[in-house]
Amino acid sequence: MRLTGRDRAFNTRPDAVDHGRVATLQYLGNYERRLPVSMERMLENALDWEHLPHVHASSFADIACIDSGRWGWRAVARAAGEGAEDQVLELLVDHERSYWATTVLTGALAGIEIHTQATAIGDREITIDVRFLSSAPLAEELARLYLAGLQQQYALLYDEDVALMVARQAALDDRARRRDAGAGRVLVGSAAAVRAAGRATVECAGGRYCVRWSGSGWVVHSAVCTHQLGPLDGALDEDGGVTCPWHGYRFDVATGANLDGRCQALAAPPALEESEGRLYLVPGAATP
Ligand code: FES
Ligand SMILES: [Fe+2]
């Protein structure tokens, strides 16, 4: 069952981090890490509620946004696992201080807050200090248990987020590089090898494309999601659709149409040429 964004009552809460309140919370402990990403990618990731059930599928089964903006978001989330109850989560960002606070408003762990201070140490390197806090006093034993669970969960969440953020940065860098690259036909590979493998992903001046053998013919489509540049070169589902692993948007590879109506269609692919047993993409020439 998909969640829906209900509980608009939570929208009466302030949309800014109350730093003064932190001293009134019980400090449980922290988790520190160095990450190979820019501050821009990190804040974008914090604001991105939509990736939780896709990139962190072992932690979250579903999410529905109540409200979101540059200030942060509130959402109803369901943890992964049998019988997990819904939680209302709130994330508030203080852009000036590169600081964000996540609060569990209802459900399991209600009253737990996770405050993160990020610090840039290079263009694409930051450190994070993730502090776990509780608004309700917890006995020592319980506090230790919560801390151990949260430290373990955050280590996994950041492993998954680093993979996403590094891949997104690489996709942005690729796109910038391709703007300057010259046109020209690009070898995909031997037709027999691509047919046997089922698909191949190729970079050319116009973008990154996936060439697939359908069993009866070739299909070429952009391998770059129009939402936030996620990779679309994974396996097809039985209806000929491909789902982006970052936020779950689905596309028809034959037409490029977004099947959820949530973002634009894929960029038109270049023509595919077969010559002497080899396949080539021809940028600038659209597929007929
Ligand atoms: S990048 Fe968001 S669904 Fe593809
Ligand atoms: Fe994440």
Task: Write the pLDDT tens digit of every residue in 43-76.
Answer: 999 999 999 999 999 999 999 999 999 999 999 9
The atom number, within ligand 1, closest to the CA of 168 reads 1
| pLDDT (0 to 100) of residue 159 | 98
In this predicted model, what pLDDT tens digit does every residue of 210-257 receive, in sequence order? Answer: 999 988 899 999 999 999 999 999 999 998 899 999 999 999 999 999
CB of residue 49 inside a 6 A radius of ligand 1:
no
Q: How far apart are CA 267 and CA 256, in angstroms?
A: 7
DSSP letter (8 states) at residue 232 = -
Q: How far apart are CA 114 and CA 152, in angstroms?
A: 14
Distance 168 CA to ligand 1 centre (A): 10
Residue with tokens 């939680």: 87
Q: How far apart are CA 213 and CA 232, in angstroms?
A: 15
Instruction: For residue 108, tell me if it sits in a domain.
Output: yes
Domain end: 176, 201, 226, which one? 176
Q: Are residues 69 and 109 in the same domain?
A: yes
Q: Are residues 167 and 221 in the same domain?
A: no
Q: Are residues 115 and 143 in the same domain?
A: yes
Mutate to test the pocket of ligand 1, among 45, 47, 175, 228 (most ligand atoms within 8 A of CB): 228
Distance 262 CA to ligand 1 centre (A): 10
Say whether pLDDT at 40 is over 50. yes
Mean pLDDT (the chain, rounded): 92
Q: How far apart are CA 149 and CA 146, in angstroms?
A: 5
Instruction: For residue 267, tell me if it sits in a domain.
Output: yes
Instruction: For residue 275, tell me if it sits in a domain.
Output: yes
Q: Are residues 89 and 150 in the same domain?
A: yes
Say whether pLDDT at 183 is over 90. no
| pLDDT (0 to 100) of residue 204 | 83
Residues 66-72: contacts with CB within 8 Å, 24+ apart? 66/5, 66/6, 66/7, 66/8, 66/10, 66/11, 67/5, 67/8, 67/10, 67/11, 69/15, 70/95, 71/15, 71/16, 72/15, 72/46, 72/47, 72/100
Q: Are residues 101 and 170 in the same domain?
A: yes
Say whether pLDDT at 1 is over 50. no
Band of pLDDT at residue 79, cut at 50, 70 and 90: very high
Q: Are residues 239 and 161 in the same domain?
A: no
Domain end: 138, 156, 176, which one? 176
Q: Are residues 236 and 163 in the same domain?
A: no
CB of residue 243 inside a 6 A radius of ligand 1:
no
Domain end: 176, 195, 219, which one? 176
Q: Are residues 147 and 12 in the same domain?
A: yes
The two structure tokens encoding residue 135: 């608004």
Instruction: For residue 86, tell me if it sits in a domain.
Output: yes
Q: Which amino acid makes up residue 113?
A: E
Instruction: For residue 128, tell me if it sits in a domain.
Output: yes
Distance 86 CA to ligand 2 centre (A): 18
Q: Are residues 198 and 169 in the same domain?
A: no
CATH code for the domain of 153: 3.30.530.20
The atom number, within ligand 1, closest to the CA of 262 reads 3
Instruction: For residue 29, tell me if it sits in a domain.
Output: yes
- Asked if 201 and 167 count as a contact pair (C-beta separation under 8 A), the reply is no
CB of residue 227 inside a 6 A radius of ligand 1:
yes
Q: What is the mean pLDDT of residues 258-286?
A: 89
Say whether pLDDT at 180 is over 80. no
Question: What is the count of structural domains for the chain?
Answer: 2
Mutate to test the pocket of ligand 1, among 224, 243, 244, 260 (most ligand atoms within 8 A of CB): 244
Instruction: For residue 2, tell me if it sits in a domain.
Output: no
Q: What is the mean pLDDT of residues 194-206?
A: 90
The two structure tokens encoding residue 186: 């690009």
Distance 46 CA to ligand 2 centre (A): 7
Q: Are residues 202 and 171 in the same domain?
A: no
| pLDDT (0 to 100) of residue 242 | 97
Distance 29 CA to ligand 1 centre (A): 34
Q: Which stretches of the chain are DSSP H helices?
A: 39-47, 52-55, 140-180, 191-197
CB of residue 246 inside a 6 A radius of ligand 1:
yes
CB of residue 230 inside a 6 A radius of ligand 1:
yes
CB of residue 191 inside a 6 A radius of ligand 1:
no
Give the number of whichever ligand sits closest to the CA of residue 250. Answer: 1
Q: What is the mean pLDDT of residues 173-182?
A: 73
Region of residue 156 (left: phi > 0; alpha: psi -120 to 50; beta: else)? alpha
Q: What is the mean pLDDT of residues 176-181?
A: 68
Q: How far apart are CA 236 and CA 4, in angstroms?
A: 27
CATH code for the domain of 225: 2.102.10.10
Q: Are residues 164 and 213 in the same domain?
A: no
In this predicted model, what pLDDT tens digit does every residue of 245-269 receive, in sequence order? Answer: 999 999 999 999 999 999 999 999 9
**Domain hosting residue 248, numbered range:** 186-286
Distance 54 CA to ligand 1 centre (A): 10
- Lowest-pLDDT range of 8-12, 139-143, 146-150: 8-12
Residue 193, φ and ψ in degrees, nearest 5 = -65, -40
Distance 159 CA to ligand 2 centre (A): 9
Give the number of whichever ligand sits closest to the CA of residue 262. Answer: 1
Say whether pLDDT at 288 is over 60. no
Q: Are residues 36 and 143 in the same domain?
A: yes
| pLDDT (0 to 100) of residue 4 | 60
pTM flag (> 0.95)? no
